[in-house]
Structure 1
C-alpha cells in the first residue's frame, strides 16, 4: 500500500473484499445503513444490488463472480465479490 500522488475519478472499484456469502454480507451491511449501487452496464447488471458476472474472476477454479458495490463517506467505490464455482 502507498500514498497516491494523483487522484482517482472514482469510476472504478478502489478496494474489494472476497466474501463467502454475498447475500448475507449485503443484507448485514444494508441493516447497518450501507446503500448499494445499482449498475445497468453491459455484462453485469445488478438485481437487488448484486451482479452476476460470468467469467470475471482470476481464480482458475471459479467460473464467475457475484459482486456488489457501495461508496464510502468520501465517495470511493468499494465492493465485495463471491466466486462462483
Structure 2
C-alpha cells in the first residue's frame, strides 16, 4: 500500500456494521482488503488471505 500511496492512490475509508477500515484496510475472517477509485471513478478492491 505504501507504494500505491506514493503513486497518488487514496484508499477509501468505511465504517459500516460488519465492515470498518483502519488506515484504509479492513480485516476479518482470514482476509484483508482495501478499496480505491480508479481514474474513471470505479471502486476497485485488493485483498489478501491471512492466517492459515
Root-mean-square deviation over aligned CA pairs: 0.9
Aligned with residue 68 of structure 1, among 34, 38, 43: 34
- In the TM superposition, structure 1's runs of 4+ consecutive aligned residues that sit over 3 Å from their partners are none
Cross-structure match for 1:84: 50
Higher strand proportion, which one? 2
More contact order relative to length (CA 8 Å, sep ≥ 6): 1
Question: Rg larger in 1 or in 2?
Answer: 1
Structure 1 unaligned segments of length 5 or more: list them. 1-25, 55-63
How many residues are aligned here? Answer: 51
